[in-house]
């Protein structure tokens, strides 16, 4: 049966008008075929984007295959975060504490003690708890401290071995504690944190940050002290391989493009971002950004990637370094603007506000938190504790969290 021309919807860039004349049926049929051809030629990318993604069992469906971040758009909150206080939670690595900022006033309104060496504040998969990862550097007294986002107060810490960072499997079944010192991933109960099993990645020295494929079938972790990446099978829970970026490299944060095709890997020694084809696990490009490239966060509309350049190639850098934020356009894979910090600084880890107007980043070597205006790049600073690291902005839009400081989908 011939599909009516009125059933076709072409992309705006390919729109054309075809006038249907009842007395000329043959021309109408020709016009319909032209419509089919135009839809095929001009709307190929749209058709591809509309193809459903076959996700792993238990993982929420991908609503928009062209933008996996669509459900984490501006103020697109889940009912699960109802009642959560709007706060910025800042782990002070050398202060063994968390500073709490009210984003409405840009002031610290609370500070509470946690375990030794708090590294990141991690939203749980179900959005009900924020976990502080206290890895107790150099000791065996690591712990996870839960924060109730409805009160902003901490609960009793749970002893956990070396929790440098933490992620969640896309189906929400496990928490993945990144035991950096042991080159190991510990899969735990996402609520009690009881250990279920582990995956060793012996060639991934300094395993720390990760992101997941669009279908949830694999994750790619960075190996900070080995200059490599490792690819982990999320179904069979095993190492699929390693990819060396540079012998002297120090890969940090990693974030996948909205269409799931390219992983952007920040490298603080390369002063830029490597582009990795996730499926083939090959390097396909590099984007120069700034000194000490570190954290990465997509804009609320999924068109830009904010890249924090920490201002130093050293693990323990100086105050007032040449820190900045580079803004990469996902479509062109080019830096479209760079925001310097007047007087210098050390932007590290954080996230974007729910309305998309502010990029919050810790100032690792300056004991401050930065709030960047995402329209102008103007920045203001808030004094916090000693060596702030992976801060969390809460609540965040999105249906579920994959961990870190809020990888929301």
Q: What is the dihedral of CA 197, 203, 205, 209, to 10 degrees?
A: -60
Res 9 pLDDT > 70: no
Q: Decide if 143 contacts 156 (C-beta within 8 A).
A: no
Helix (H/G/I), strand (E/B), else coil: 147: strand
Report yes or no on 59 lying in a domain.
no
Report yes or no on 60 lying in a domain.
no
* Residues 46 and 167 both lie in one domain: no
| Lowest-confidence pick of 29-38, 153-162, 222-231 | 29-38
Strand order in the sheet with 293-298: 293-298, 304-309, 324-329, 334-340
Task: Give the pair of three-digit tokens for residue 123.
Answer: 């939203």
348-381 tens-digit pLDDT? 999 999 999 999 999 999 999 999 999 999 999 9
Model confidence band, residue 51 (pLDDT cutoffs 50, 70, 90): confident
Report yes or no on 405 lying in a domain.
no
Question: What would you measure as the largest C-alpha separation in the chain, in angstroms?
Answer: 85
Query: What is the DSSP secondary-structure string of 68-131?
Result: TTGGG-TT---GGGTT---EEEEEETTTTEEEEEETTTTEEEEEEE-SSSEEEEEE-TTSS-EE
Q: Decide if 266 contacts 273 (C-beta within 8 A).
A: yes
Taking the C-alpha atoms of residue 90 and residue 366, their distance in angstroms, rounded to an integer, is 14
156-170 tens-digit pLDDT? 999 999 999 999 999
| Lowest-confidence pick of 4-18, 35-49, 242-256, 299-313 | 4-18
Report yes or no on 80 lying in a domain.
yes
Domain that holds residue 37: 5-50
Regarding predicted confidence, which is higher, 79 or 13? 79
319-333 tens-digit pLDDT? 999 999 999 999 999
Q: Decide if 380 contacts 373 (C-beta within 8 A).
A: no
Report yes or no on 241 lying in a domain.
yes
| pLDDT for 125 | 98
* Residues 359 and 283 both lie in one domain: yes
Taking the C-alpha atoms of residue 181 and residue 60, their distance in angstroms, rounded to an integer, is 32
The arithmetic mean of pLDDT across residues 51-61, rounded, is 95
| Rg over CA atoms, the chain | 23
| pLDDT for 24 | 37
Arithmetic mean of pLDDT over the chain: 90
* Residues 11 and 92 both lie in one domain: no
* Residues 130 and 30 both lie in one domain: no
From the list 307, 310, 277, 304, the residue with the least C-alpha distance to 291 is 310
* Residues 122 and 267 both lie in one domain: yes
* Residues 11 and 151 both lie in one domain: no
* Residues 186 and 144 both lie in one domain: yes
From the list 128, 124, 203, 198, the residue with the least C-alpha distance to 161 is 198
247-270 tens-digit pLDDT? 899 999 999 999 999 999 999 999
Report yes or no on 61 lying in a domain.
no
Compute CA distances 318 → 91, 210, 323, 327, whole Å: 19, 27, 11, 24
3-state helix, strand, coil in the chain (%, to 5): 10, 40, 50
Q: Does this model's pTM top 0.85?
A: yes
Burial (Cβ within 10 Å: 0-12, 13-18, ≥19) of residue 84: buried
* Residues 29 and 116 both lie in one domain: no
Taking the C-alpha atoms of residue 129 and residue 134, their distance in angstroms, rounded to an integer, is 15
Burial (Cβ within 10 Å: 0-12, 13-18, ≥19) of residue 133: buried
* Residues 163 and 45 both lie in one domain: no
Q: Decide if 190 contacts 125 (C-beta within 8 A).
A: yes
Q: Decide if 296 contacts 264 (C-beta within 8 A).
A: yes
| pLDDT for 247 | 87
Report yes or no on 57 lying in a domain.
no
| pLDDT for 61 | 97
Q: What is the count of structural domains for the chain?
A: 2
Which residues 6+ apart lie within 8 Å of 250 measured at CB? 206, 224, 225, 227, 267, 268, 269
Q: Decide if 293 contacts 307 (C-beta within 8 A).
A: yes
286-313 tens-digit pLDDT? 999 999 999 999 999 999 999 999 999 9
| Lowest-confidence pick of 42-46, 150-154, 235-239, 387-391 | 42-46
* Residues 12 and 117 both lie in one domain: no
């Amino acid at each position: 049966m011939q599909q009516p021309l009125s059933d076709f919807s072409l992309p705006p860039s390919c729109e054309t008008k075809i006038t249907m004349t009842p007395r000329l049926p043959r021309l109408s049929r020709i016009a319909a075929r032209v419509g089919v051809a135009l839809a095929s030629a001009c709307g190929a990318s749209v058709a591809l984007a509309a193809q459903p993604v076959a996700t792993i069992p238990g993982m929420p469906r991908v609503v928009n295959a062209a933008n996996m971040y669509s459900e984490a758009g501006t103020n697109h909150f889940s009912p699960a975060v109802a009642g959560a206080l709007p706060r910025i939670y800042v782990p002070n690595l050398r202060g063994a504490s968390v500073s709490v900022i009210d984003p409405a006033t840009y002031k610290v309104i609370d500070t509470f003690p946690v375990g030794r060496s708090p590294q990141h504040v991690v939203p749980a998969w179900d959005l009900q708890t924020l976990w502080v990862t206290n890895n107790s550097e150099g000791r065996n007294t690591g712990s996870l401290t839960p924060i109730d986002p409805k009160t902003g107060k901490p609960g009793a810490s749970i002893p956990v071995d070396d929790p440098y960072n933490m992620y969640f499997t896309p189906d929400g079944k496990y928490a993945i504690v990144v035991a950096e010192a042991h080159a190991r991933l510990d899969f735990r109960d996402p609520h009690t944190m009881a250990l279920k099993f582990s995956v060793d990645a012996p060639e991934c020295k300094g395993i720390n940050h990760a992101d997941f494929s669009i279908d949830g079938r694999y994750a790619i972790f960075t190996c900070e002290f080995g200059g490599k990446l490792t690819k982990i099978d999320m179904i069979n829970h095993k190492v699929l391989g390693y990819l060396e970026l540079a012998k002297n490299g120090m890969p940090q944060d990693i974030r996948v493009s909205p269409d799931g095709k390219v992983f952007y890997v920040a490298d603080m020694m390369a002063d830029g971002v490597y582009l990795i084809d996730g499926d083939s696990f090959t390097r396909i490009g590099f984007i120069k950004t700034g000194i000490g490239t570190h954290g990465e966060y997509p804009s609320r509309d999924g068109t830009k990637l904010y890249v924090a350049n920490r201002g130093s190639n050293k693990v323990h850098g100086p105050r007032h370094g040449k820190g900045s934020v580079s803004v990469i356009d996902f479509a062109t894979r080019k830096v479209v603007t760079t925001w310097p910090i007047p007087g210098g600084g050390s932007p590290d880890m954080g996230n974007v506000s729910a309305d998309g107007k502010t990029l919050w980043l810790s100032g690792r070597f300056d004991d401050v938190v930065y709030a960047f205006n995402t329209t102008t790049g103007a920045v203001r600073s808030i004094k916090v504790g000693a060596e702030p690291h992976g801060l969390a902005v809460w609540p965040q839009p999105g249906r579920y969290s994959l961990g870190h400081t809020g990888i929301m989908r």
